[in-house]
Amino acid sequence: MIKHHPSDELLIQYANGSLPSPEALVIGSHLAACAECRHRVKTFENISAVLMEDGDVEAVSAHALDTVLSMIDNPAKEDTAPLIQFDHATLEVIPPPLRSYLGDSLSKLDWKRTGRGIEEVSLARQDDVRISLLRIRAGQKVPSHTHQGDEFTLVLSGGYTDGDTHFGKGDMSLADSAKDHAPVADKDGSCLCLTVRKGATKLTGPIGRFLNPILRA
């Protein structure tokens, strides 16, 4: 069961189309798995529509939720180029809004080792914002770190514990630049996450001062 959801502020921004595309990707991918948040977005869209009729707000982009639901219920049809034939394992864990960012099935992506038991695939980069898939080996601890900006994380499979809080499939977390954390993947299987990170990552552990210049390269 999904326990950790986007804030109402984020859902409202998603509903009115004002959320930047990297963050909207995380929210849209969460909505694909979360009926509760889909309902809330629909409510916010309806409220916006009423306010627009009263002339109290500027026009907003409607049907954000309908677009997500359409992607879930009606996979994109072949256009000028053939669709990527994802394998079953990929289709099982990658939500429809995220699939267009993948060039191939998960097993064929260019995974790069970024630490002991940690692999990453960079999906897109916009200025100082990076969209990635992160795969963490069962029981592996991510080195203590902070970020220059916000870090959005959506669990696609498996789970992890961050401090006293556990995040499972479908859960979303938002860590700001003040948070110093070291998530640990569940012991019963690897954890796959979608991450959107603003700014550079800074290690805060004993060896961080040696590795930070490498991370910034």
Q: What are phi and psi of 215, to 5 degrees?
A: -65, -35
Tokens linked to 189: 């299987």
- Provide the CATH topology of domain 103-215: Jelly Rolls (2.60.120)
Q: Is the dihedral of CA 190, 72, 151, 176 positive or negative?
A: negative
Give the largest Cα separation in the chain, rounded: 58
End-to-end C-alpha distance for the chain, whole angstroms: 39
**Chain CA centroid to CA 37, Å:** 15
Q: Strand, helix or coil at 36?
A: helix
User: Domain boundaries in the chain?
Assistant: 8-73, 103-215
Other residues' Cβ atoms within 10 Å of the Cβ of residue 165: 13
User: Strands (DSSP E) along the chain, which ranges?
Assistant: 112-115, 118-126, 129-136, 145-147, 151-157, 160-162, 165-167, 172-175, 184-185, 191-198, 201-203
Q: What is the pLDDT along the chain (217 residues), one digit of tens a residue?
A: 999 999 999 999 999 889 999 999 999 999 999 999 999 999 998 887 766 655 554 444 545 555 555 545 554 444 444 467 899 999 999 999 999 999 999 999 999 998 899 999 999 998 889 999 999 999 999 888 887 789 999 999 999 999 999 999 999 999 887 788 889 999 999 999 999 999 877 888 665 555 544 444 4
**pTM summary value:** 0.81
